[in-house]
Structure 1
Amino acid sequence: MISSFFSQAKPIHFVVVSVLLLVVFVVLKTTTLTEAFTVQLFFEQSFLFGVCLASLFVLDFFVSKNNLTKKNSYKILMFGLFVAVLPETIGDSKLLIANFFILLALRRIISLRSRKEIKKKLFDAAFWISLATLLFFWASLFYILIFMALLLFSIADVKDWIIPFAGILCVAIIAASYMIVTGVDFEPYLDGFFDFSFDFTPLNSKHIIMSTTIMLSYGAWASFYYMKNIKHQLKSYRPSFFLVIISSLIALLIILLAPQKNGSEFVFLLAPLAIMMANYLEIISERWFKEGLILVLIIVSVVNLML
């Protein structure tokens, strides 16, 4: 029933998933925020929830625009459910905003398939990733995605390979100028900026272990069929599908390197995981199995919200 409801792309689906995200966001913030309620706090949190919704819209836009899934709403359903399964993914404001910038970059990178405005798209992608890097250094690993796209789309012009560095330099100059004008000290800003950690002890809780195990299990299972299904795609679309796989691998690498492991680092995995799961749901012929996969996520989400 749930899979049938989301089997076509309709505006009501955005409303349903947006309400789901709102419930998860409110429950998370009421249980984690210790600050006294103020008007400023209300607007800050409203802005962060707006980033959540914007991420959802950007995901749906570039997935639909580049035919990464069929015309359905499975990708936004999966995105919303994965957030509900692991609410910590939207708990860190810097990582949440950084992930939004990465989604904007991913939109430009995948659209290179059309070979229109290549230089502009490469500059934009590097610009967005650079902004994300200012908030969270390891988001810089997504620069790899730009150069992988150049290879996969067979873009050989030397000028096009230089353009991303112009985008990086642009953000660096703007950021440095802002810090100089506002009197921000570079040393405190850079303190711990390049840190990494392989200590997973902070993730050693029943809730996070259960949630991450389910997410990674779904991802591993779906990726197998996703890779298998790529050969059935049109040749011009295959690089885009490979870029989703690469972005998921980069997200996993970020999870390994993140200096503070509290579940929020999984936010970069949400979009590629949602795309792969949407593709998997499309090819499942047994409706009961499809419903079961979705129900498991809903049940885990409800349990997490009640605990």
Structure 2
Amino acid sequence: MISSIFEKTKPVNFIILLVFLFLFYWSVQFYLFDYTFTDIKMVPSIVVLTILLFSVFVVDFVVKRNKLTSTNSFAILFFTLLFVVFPETLGDSNAVFTSFFLLLAMRRLLSIKSLKNIKLKIFDAGLWICISSVFYEWAILYLLLVFAAIYIYDPKNIRNWLVLLSVGFCFFMILYSVLVIMNETSFIKTHYAFVINYDAIFPIKWWSSLKFSIYALLNMALAFSTFIHLGKSGMGKVIIMRLIALSFIIGLVVNVLVTSENTNAVMITFFPSVIFIVNYLESIKKPKFLELILISSIVVPILVFVTKL
């Protein structure tokens, strides 16, 4: 039943998931974090929720445009379900904005495979990553994805590499101009300090979280399975999956390095995780087994969330 609903892309699928995510967001705010109406700043919360809901459309667009999965709605389904698995991340507005801008960057990076307007796409991707670093400074590490994409698709054109210099200059000038207007020029020095809190990292903090450890290991296993099944699909899709796998690894590193209080950056790994999950599901040939996995994926996280309340 579940598979029959989400095996195809239908408008009703978006309606179901957006309504669920809308209700779930407010449930987390009021019941998990124990906020009251007086505690919540409505305008910022509505902005965050709007970005969150729009991210679902961006995920669907990137997946369909680059044919990362078959024509189904499993990607947006599991993107939504991951918020149920990690509801704490909805309390971190910086994670929502960082994840959204990284999705926009990934959209441009994956489109480089067409070998058209490469320099423009590199510039756009680099700029979106720089913007995401305004919320998490360590998100700047995602520029490694841009370097990897250039190296894979067009490394001999020196102008592609020089584009990143123009990205850095353009971003700095825009950011500095905005900060001057706001009289907050000290933000650059304090925010981009890139301080590593070794006491918080060792022992690595996410090893102390059983849920995150299982999540990371499961995705590594799914990634391995995906590369095995894509061995006969041609190098084109394998290369894209390498970029997505690198994105997931960088996301794990950022999660380790972000040691500030009240932060939960796991959301930035949701997109690559979704790709691995859906590619695994599409390799399942037994409909009943697929249905069982889908039902379990929906029921178990919701039950865990309810019991946590």
TM over 0.5: yes
1:119 aligns with 2:119: yes
Aligned counterpart, 2:297: 297
Aligned counterpart, 1:80: 80
Q: Kindly provide the CA deviation profile for residues 76-123 of structure 1, in whole angstroms up to 9, marking residues without a partner as x.
A: 111111111111222211121011101000000000011111111111
Aligned counterpart, 1:152: 152
Question: Kindly tell me: are residues 37 and 81 of structure 1, through their superposed partners in 2, closer, same or farther at Cα, counting changes over 3 Å?
Answer: same
Question: Kindly tell me: are residues 25 and 157 of structure 1, through their superposed partners in 2, closer, same or farther at Cα, counting changes over 3 Å?
Answer: same
Q: CA deviation at 1:220?
A: 2.6
Aligned counterpart, 1:133: 133
Question: Kindly tell me: are residues 158 and 284 of structure 1, through their superposed partners in 2, closer, same or farther at Cα, counting changes over 3 Å?
Answer: same
Asked if the contact 2:62–2:107 (Cα under 8 Å) also holds between the matched residues in 1, the reply is yes
Q: CA deviation at 1:263?
A: 6.8
- 1:147 maps to a residue whose letter is F
SS at match of 1:134: coil
Asked if the contact 2:30–2:36 (Cα under 8 Å) also holds between the matched residues in 1, the reply is no
Query: Within 5 A, what are the aligned runs for 1:15-54?
Result: 15-31=15-31, 32=33, 34=35, 36-37=37-38, 41-54=41-54
Question: Kindly tell me: are residues 51 and 236 of structure 1, through their superposed partners in 2, closer, same or farther at Cα, counting changes over 3 Å?
Answer: same
Query: Within 5 A, what are the aligned runs for 1:203-242?
Result: 209-210=210-211, 212-242=212-242
Is the deviation greater in 10-19 or in 134-143?
A: 10-19
Q: CA deviation at 1:195?
A: 3.0
Question: Kindly tell me: are residues 280 and 201 of structure 1, through their superposed partners in 2, closer, same or farther at Cα, counting changes over 3 Å?
Answer: closer
TM-score by length of 1: 0.90
Q: CA RMSD in A?
A: 2.4
SS at match of 1:284: coil
Runs of 4+ aligned structure 1 residues displaced above 6 Å come to 200-205
Q: Kindly provide the CA deviation profile for residues 24-60 of structure 1, in whole angstroms up to 9, marking residues without a partner as x.
A: 211111132646538x822221111111112111111
- 2:291 maps to a residue whose letter is E
Distance 1:284 1:268 in 2: 27
Distance 1:239 1:288 in 2: 32
Aligned counterpart, 2:250: 250
Asked if the contact 2:133–2:139 (Cα under 8 Å) also holds between the matched residues in 1, the reply is yes
SS at match of 1:72: coil
Q: Kindly provide the CA deviation profile for residues 239-270 of structure 1, in whole angstroms up to 9, marking residues without a partner as x.
A: 21211111111111112212137672111110
- 1:159 maps to a residue whose letter is R
Unaligned runs of 5+ in 2: none
- 1:175 maps to a residue whose letter is L
Distance 1:81 1:159 in 2: 41
Q: CA deviation at 1:21?
A: 1.4
1:190 aligns with 2:194: no
Distance 2:288 2:28 in 1: 31
Percent sequence identity is 27
Distance 1:33 1:125 in 2: 38
Q: CA deviation at 1:306?
A: 4.2
Distance 1:141 1:187 in 2: 19
Aligned counterpart, 2:143: 143
Q: Kindly provide the CA deviation profile for residues 176-225 of structure 1, in whole angstroms up to 9, marking residues without a partner as x.
A: 111122211416861684233415797698xx634x24533431331121
SS at match of 1:8: coil
Distance 2:88 2:156 in 1: 41
Question: Kindly tell me: are residues 292 and 25 of structure 1, through their superposed partners in 2, closer, same or farther at Cα, counting changes over 3 Å?
Answer: same
Q: CA deviation at 1:305?
A: 3.5
Is the deviation greater in 260-269 or in 226-235?
A: 260-269
Question: Kindly tell me: are residues 43 and 199 of structure 1, through their superposed partners in 2, closer, same or farther at Cα, counting changes over 3 Å?
Answer: farther
Aligned counterpart, 2:91: 91
Distance 1:24 1:306 in 2: 15
SS at match of 1:231: helix
Asked if the contact 1:149–1:239 (Cα under 8 Å) also holds between the matched residues in 2, the reply is no
Aligned counterpart, 1:70: 70
1:180 aligns with 2:175: no
Question: Kindly tell me: are residues 89 and 289 of structure 1, through their superposed partners in 2, closer, same or farther at Cα, counting changes over 3 Å?
Answer: farther
Q: CA deviation at 1:64?
A: 0.6
Question: Kindly tell me: are residues 235 and 189 of structure 1, through their superposed partners in 2, closer, same or farther at Cα, counting changes over 3 Å?
Answer: same
- 1:264 maps to a residue whose letter is N
